[in-house]
Structure 1
């Protein structure tokens, strides 16, 4: 038995929340480099922002003293891991785990965004 499922609660969208030290720089990276579009922002100065691209949604929260974790904080499924990997390399992003085919059926790699947040990228093989 699953307690929550037994009560009929259905889950909807869930989105990664990434802490960033500088909202302007984070916005520029995710929109200009990765092609996201800002769909919401809150605060003056902006302390929270929602970005979307295709089916992906990302929430940014301003945390000026943020220190990045040494583990992956989000997983991004894509249809072309090689192209995204090449884009990350062109923009000088740190690649944490090299691009490779995994035994669990994904072509995958891990990169760091400008705030050091580790994003795990996967493409079904």
Structure 2
């Protein structure tokens, strides 16, 4: 097996029904920056904030995201600040901020496509 330092980074790829709406949500509500868009009309885009990149692709089927499982867990340095930003921007919070028994303080939001995204900070 190859050395573990051979791995660089990863990207979550979220299939979305409305690419423009998703880009607007991540950039306007969560403070991400659109760094890439591809296709004519566009059907793939990348949004980034700090070291976190999320790839968005136009969904080709009707399968909806799980309402019970998290699509992405984003680790942040100041979870209270991110929570406050989400509240101020009217982002749908589906699980309020709390210190969890698994040693994380986190909360869950739902994006316009129904993906559950968690923001959290550990001890």
TM-score interval (norm. to shorter): 0.7 to 0.9
- The normalised TM-score by structure 2 is 0.86
Size of the aligned set, in residue pairs, is 120
Residue 47 (1) aligns with residue 43 (2): yes
1:68 to 41, 65, 69: 65
**Whole-Å separation in 1 of the counterparts to 2:18 and 2:49:** 21
Q: Where in structure 1 are there 5+ consecutive unaligned residues? A: 1-5
Quote the offset at 1:38 in angstroms: 1.4
- The normalised TM-score by structure 1 is 0.84
**Whole-Å separation in 1 of the counterparts to 2:73 and 2:16:** 17
Residue 102 (1) aligns with residue 97 (2): no
User: Which deviates further from its counterpart, 80-89 or 18-27?
Assistant: 80-89
Which has the higher Rg, Structure 1 or Structure 2? 1
Change in CA separation of 1:42 and 1:66 when aligned onto 2, cut-off 3 Å: farther
Contact 1:105 1:124 (C-alpha < 8 Å) held by counterparts: yes
**Whole-Å separation in 1 of the counterparts to 2:2 and 2:14:** 31
Residue 20 (1) aligns with residue 16 (2): yes
Give the CA RMSD over aligned residues: 1.8
Q: Where in structure 2 are there 5+ consecutive unaligned residues? A: none
**Whole-Å separation in 2 of the counterparts to 1:12 and 1:107:** 27
1:113 to 100, 111, 114: 111
Quote the offset at 1:94 in angstroms: 2.4
Contact 2:75 2:121 (C-alpha < 8 Å) held by counterparts: yes
